[in-house]
Structure 1
Amino acid sequence: MYKLMIVEDEPLIRMGLQKYLDWKELGFHEIVEAENGAEGVHTALKEKPDLVITDIRMPLMDGLEMIGSLRDTLPETLFVIWTGYNDFEYAREALRLGNVSAYLLKPLQYEESLRTIQNCVKQLEQKREQARLASAIQHNLVENMQLKRSRFLKQLLEDGGASADTGQLADLCGMNAADMQLQPFVLSYVPASVPSPQSRAWWRQSAEQLLTDLLQRMIPSIERQHLFCYSSHHKMYAFTVTDEEQAPYLMLPPLQQEAERLLRGAAVEPDVRLYFALGPVTSDLPTLSSLLHQADQAFFARFIQDGARAFELRPSGADPLRTALIQLGDKDKMQLLACLEQGETEQLEQLMRRLGQELQAKAGQIPMEQGLGFIQEVIATGIRYAGKHGINIEETYHQRLLYLRFVDDFDSMPALFEWLTGWMLQLRTDAGQAARNGGAPDTAVFDQIEAYILQHIDQEITLQMVADRFFYNPSYLSRLFKTKLNKNYVAFVTEIRIAYAKRCLVQSKVPMTDVAQMCGYASYKHFVKTFRKMTDTTPSDYRKQMGMMD
């Protein structure tokens, strides 16, 4: 659809031109007016019409002057002069100079006028198509460059810079290799303990833009084309390339305060927190790789700096010698095993709470690796218990547990150890079920899953969410549904939703559309279709059968 502007000093003629052709049929959804060239300039700059039809002789500013004033500012706009025979040479001169696309002679001839406007519409269509193709080409070029940069950064992180090519980096950012200054940044998000599909999708869609916006607020001179980004799990790794020396530490007041404010304001998803770390400037790619990996150590500081969101990677040797040690003693290991063996839930929770408090108390005095080692020892004790009871840890439980990736999911040590306690309790439950079922889990686990689904029945509940809640490997859980229940997870959830819908329909007179939403169906049409497939009747007919209709 296009916009038309008519510029004519005679009101009756302006009105007549609006009625002369079927402008909507020709593709013009809006018509604006101006009564002279001066007003035409003002209106055109505001409305940005696609086509302008103008007289030549008008007070204040004639049509040719108006076109001359607008053609550079509105290069995509087409101009058609409508003029009398006496001004015909002016119109022809305007055509030769490129000011106008066509002209119409007074008095207008309908067929000629229609053909002229139709030709203008074809030109507008061609311009739009050319613009669309140019935009698509540019978009592909940008995406291709971003992909190359992302791959470069991924390789840098994976091989530690051993195969990093400074020349390749220079080509990717169009700079002289000898002048490049590199500064690392990492943005991390901490979701709720059971990340929702919405929070994951929000992070995938928003992470790079969030980081870009944050950096541009902190470093106004930075240009987007000098930013390399790569996303992995809950982190967005990045570095900037500039040809001017930057200050090695940007996290200084008031920059620190501004970063904290931006990080808090950017997390629009509920129960999502953002954390940011930056390192010093370097010109060496292997050093850059090391600094990016050290961001994990900087993020570990959130467990001891209550409320802090932005952290600075300190240069090597900046920290005083740390002599504090922490390890899981034999006594604690034996007590942990005893609690698991004997099913002493309360004692287990107290022990895990104390271990978390001990780690938090020393977290500021030990390297991050030692803190992770302590957590790994706690997990290893659970693995020892699982092995004794015939549970295959790697097959059954999520890799985020085995490889400590779950640490990224928490912003406090108590929350982290509460989650670990939950795994220990689930481990105890699974071991008991395996013992009762000759070494294999029994169907009692599905009762737990059903209870969890009913607690969140009005929400989207994916297999991944259930796996996260019960610490399972999603593949293992999927196989469990097929081998034990002879159905997949989706069928299991659908049965629960429809059974719940039946109860809602019988026990209340809530409108059918509300029942659909209460059962987790955003689409009422989909709810009815699923209900009919499962019950051979519609929700309204079912309610009638149960005698619940007025």
Structure 2
Amino acid sequence: MMYKLMVVEDEPLIRMGLKKYFEWEELGFHEIVEAENGSEGVDIALRERPDLIITDIRMPLMDGLEMIERLRKELPDTLFVIWTGYNEFAYAQRAIRLGNVFAYLLKPLQYAESIKTIHDCIEKLDLRREQQISALSIRKDLKDNMKLKRSQFVKQLIEDGNISTEIDVLSELCGINAEECSLQPFVLSYVPSSFPSPQSRTWWWQNAERILINVLHSYLGKGSDQQPLFTYQHHSKLYAFTVCGVDGEDKIATPILEECIQQQLTLVLQNEGAAPDVHLYVAVGQVTSDIQTLPSLLLQSDKALFQRFIPSGHQVFEIQPIAAEPVKGAAIPFSENDKIKLQSFLEQGDVQQLQQFMNRLAIDSQSKVQQLSLEQWLSFIQEIIAVAIRFAGKHGINMEERYHEKLIYLSFLDDFDSITALFEWITAWMIQLGIDSGESLRNIGTTDTAMFEQIEAYILQHIDQEITLQMVADRFFYNPSYLSRLFKAKLNKNYMTFVTEIRMEYAKRCLLQSNYAMTDVCLMCGYTSYKHFVKTFKKFTNMAPTEYRKQMGMMD
């Protein structure tokens, strides 16, 4: 372990001698600071916070013992050693008895005795540092364990919807009587600007809770730091609720999102989402003192996020009062005739007609979404998907085995924030469905070749990033297990080999450009370790990148 030493002595030559007397660096002291009297010693010690202070007793302005008295409370972890002569020995003994000094060094120094004192100090410092590390580790473990328990609690609320037997558990987890508190739910959601975004998912998992805390600071004030926060992260959403005492000063008011609050929260979301190029949305739920209503309020907050499909520019939503009967005639027309048309376009493999038809449905949806209930709009989307599922069944395609579960449970809606982008994605899946059915869609090409070419193009588009099988599966609508089997069956290689081959071919092209340094090529191909890049390149080409560049005439 490395420590910092401070020497306080009014005689410059003695200070210098003490600094040279021991091999301080070998003993573990990476830095030595000094002061010429107690008054200066107080100022410097408070700034530098040394681990060990060796000080003389008699000095001008302020003696060593007074300096120690001044510093003891401010530097509780610092060890003090008195540098004293025989005529001042009584002072040293008194200081040690009072508990302010760990040890003393007698003038003139006797190496064997004094080095033992220094080793005792180091042993004490080591023990104290280990105890601090252990205490920090214990506190972190307790905090992580509490966070996990709280997360499991929220998960149970969402999945089970019944907390009749959990009131005592909640009290234990939040540290106050849950029957005397108020709760407020929040749901934070992210939507990548391009689907899917390889980088944004990692960013989301690492930053979601921090972003929500920043939102709560803007909405509830700094007092929100003291309120227990329960969070559960699931895919693109972070479900949460805060807890505060009913009679406390931190009581939460029922959310009425005034214009200034909307702007504050929107600014936080826009700033947070700018760098990774994602859109962030938050739903602010209603406050309740009845814990039994919390599951339904969380789900209502979740549904409120669908308001993002209504063109308004808003990123912050609150639970809306239950609307009266929907406006008559507002429902989006999706007649039996439309269903027959969609089925026909799929059967015929008519991509152009299919795209035009889906574009018309998107326009209809956009024009009426604001007048519909959430259930009506979801039902409309469900009917469209149902036609495609029936087509798949007719052609012997097992939806659950082949395609992503998002398609079956409509959870793909969470990946979009505009109806245009949503319908483009559904249309692209239907075109892929036509390919998979064995139909020869016009202008598409052969089935297998076209699909793997599309996957290769997607990988090249994100070549400098980590691109997992799950990401590719999401992009092309497949179940990851099915896609993995497809690589082995059609290409006789696994997905990782497929990706690595693409990276190596791209590396060859980059190496032909002399303006790229080797390390640049490494990063451009998606490798963070140059050593691993060289090893992989050798495996696939039987030569190092430098040898390849030289062989191609790019180096002298």
TM superposition score normalised by structure 1: 0.93
Cα pair distance change 1:223/1:27, threshold 3 Å: same
1:500 maps to which residue?
506
Aligned to 1:158: 159
Provide the rounded CA distance (Å) in 2 between the counterparts of 1:505 and 1:134.
51
The AA in structure 2 aligned to 1:236 is: L
Aligned counterpart, 1:331: 337
TM-superposed CA distance for 1:494, in Å, is: 1.7
Any idea what SS the aligned residue of 1:161 has?
coil
Matches of 1:66 and 1:157, distance apart in 2: 59
Partner of 1:322, secondary structure, is coil
Query: C-alpha separation between the residues in 2 aligned to 1:338 and 1:520?
Result: 43
Match in the other structure for 2:240: 238
CA distance in structure 1 between the partners assigned to 2:47 and 2:35 by the alignment? 12
Separation in structure 1 between the aligned mates of residue 260 and residue 225 of structure 2, nearest angstrom = 22
Unaligned 5+ segments in structure 1 are: none
2:308 corresponds to: 302
Paired AA for residue 351 in structure 1: F
Q: Give CA deviations for 1:494-519 in whole Å, capped at 9, x if unaligned.
A: 22222333444457675444443443
Q: CA deviation at 1:149?
A: 1.2
Whole-angstrom distance in 2 between the partners of 1:213 and 1:151:
23
Q: What amino acid is the match of 2:190?
A: Y
Task: Provide, for residues 329-377 of structure 1, a one-character-per-residue CA deviation record: whole Å limited to 9, x for no partner.
Answer: 2222222222222333233222212212222222222221221111111
1:425 corresponds to which residue?
Answer: 431
Aligned to 2:88: 87
1:195-225 CA distances to partner (integer Å, 9 max, x unpaired)? 3343211111211122122212321222455
Contact 2:347 2:439 in 1 (8 A): no
- Counterpart contact for 1:228–1:238, Cα < 8 Å: yes
Cα distance per residue 1:468-513 (max 9 Å; x no partner): 2211111110011112222110111222222333444457675444
312, 317, 334: which is aligned to 1:311? 317
| Equivalent residue letter for 2:371 | Q
Distance 1:509-1:227 versus aligned 2 partners, 3 A rule: closer
CA contact 1:84–1:107 (8 Å) conserved in 2:
yes
1:260 equivalent among 262, 266, 270: 266
Q: Residue in 2 aligned with 1:67?
A: 68
Residue pair 2:191, 2:416 contacting (<8 A) in 1 also: yes
Aligned 1:365-514 pairs, distance under 5 A: 365-432=371-438, 442=448, 444-505=450-511, 510-514=516-520
Alpha carbons of 1:101 and 1:507: their partners in 2 closer, same or farther (altered >3 Å)? closer
Q: What is the rounded CA distance, in whole Å, between the counterparts of 2:496 and 2:336 in structure 1?
A: 45
Of residues 362, 368, 376, the one that matches 2:368 is 362
Task: Check 1:510–1:38 CA distance in 2 against 1; reply closer, same or farther (3 A cut).
Answer: closer
Tell me whether 1:537 sits opposite 2:543 in the alignment.
yes
SS of the equivalent of 2:232 reads strand
Partner in structure 1 of residue 114 of structure 2: 113
In the alignment, which residue of structure 2 is the partner of 1:227? 229
- Evaluate the alpha carbon distance shift between residue 228 and residue 250 of structure 1 in structure 2; reply closer, same or farther with a 3 A threshold: farther
Q: Which amino acid aligns with 1:469?
A: R
Distance in 1, matches of 2:399 and 2:170, equals 42
Name the CA distance, whole Å, in 2 between partners of 1:250 and 1:145. 31
- My pick for the range that moved more, 164-173 or 151-160, is 164-173
1:164 deviation in Å?
4.5
Deviation at 1:274, TM superposition (A): 1.2
Cα separation, partners in 2 of 1:504 and 1:266, compared to 1, 3 Å: closer
- TM-aligned CA deviation for residue 257 of structure 1: 1.6
* Bigger Cα displacement from structure 2, 100-109 vs 386-395: 386-395
Distance 1:177 1:296 in 2: 23
Equivalent residue letter for 1:85: Y
User: Do the aligned residues in 2 keep the contact of 1:433 with 1:442 (CA within 8 Å)?
Assistant: no
Query: Partner of 2:452: helix, strand, or coil?
Result: helix
Q: Using structure 2 for the length normalisation, give the TM-score.
A: 0.92
The aligned counterpart of 2:326 is 322
Query: Which stretch of structure 1 is more off in the superposition, 493-502 or 95-104?
Result: 493-502
Paired residues for 1:261-276 under 5 Å:
261-267=267-273, 269-276=275-282
Equivalent residue for 1:201? 202
Residue 39 of structure 2 corresponds to residue 33 of structure 1: no
SS in 2 for 1:221: helix
Deviations 1:135-192 (A, max 9, x none): 1111111111111111111111111125452122112212123311111111111123
Among all aligned residue pairs of Structure 1 and Structure 2, give the percentage whose two residues are the same amino acid. 62
Structure 1 equivalent of residue 126 of structure 2: 125
Aligned to 1:179: 180
Bigger drift between 251-260 and 82-91 goes to: 251-260
Distance in 2 between the 1:508 and 1:339 partners?
A: 50
User: Larger deviation: 125-134 or 170-179?
Assistant: 170-179
Aligned mates of 1:369, 1:296 — CA distance in 2: 14
Match for 2:232: what amino acid?
Answer: Y
Does the 8 A contact of 2:203 with 2:276 survive in 1?
A: no
Deviation at 1:127, TM superposition (A): 0.4
In structure 2, the gaps of 5 or more residues are none
Q: 8 Å contact 1:192–1:409 — kept in the other structure?
A: no
Distance 2:463 2:225 in 1: 46
Secondary structure of the 1:472 match is coil
> CA offsets, 1:302-321, max 9 Å, x none?
11143211111135x4x444
Q: CA deviation at 1:545?
A: 4.1
SS in 2 for 1:95: helix
For residues 5 and 184 of structure 1, the distance between their equivalents in structure 2, rounded to whole angstroms, comes to: 52
Contact kept? 2:349, 2:439, Cα under 8 Å: no
Conserved in 2, the CA contact under 8 Å of 1:434 and 1:442?
Answer: no
Per mean C-alpha deviation after superposition, the further-off stretch among 365-374 and 159-168 is 159-168
Question: 1:357-415: CA deviations, max 9, x gaps?
Answer: 22222222222122111111111111122222222222111111221111111111111
Contact 1:179 / 1:243 at 8 angstroms: preserved in 2?
A: yes
Shift in alpha-carbon separation, 1:22–1:172, aligned structure 2, 3 A: same
After superposition, the Cα gap between the structure-2 partners of 1:305 and 1:503, relative to the gap in structure 1 and judged at 3 Å, is: closer
Return the letter of the residue paired with 1:168.
Answer: V
Q: Secondary structure at the match of 2:5?
A: strand
2:337 and 2:155 map into 1 onto residues whose CA distance is 43
Distance 1:508 1:42, change over 3 A: closer
CA distance in 1, matches of 2:490, 2:125: 64
Is residue 193–residue 410 contact of structure 1 (8 Å, CA) maintained in 2?
Answer: no
Is the partner of 1:214 in helix, strand or coil? helix
Change (3 A) 1:224 1:441: farther
Q: Which residue of 2 aligns with 1:20?
A: 21
Bigger drift between 45-54 and 243-252 goes to 243-252
Contact 2:199 2:465 in 1 (8 A): no
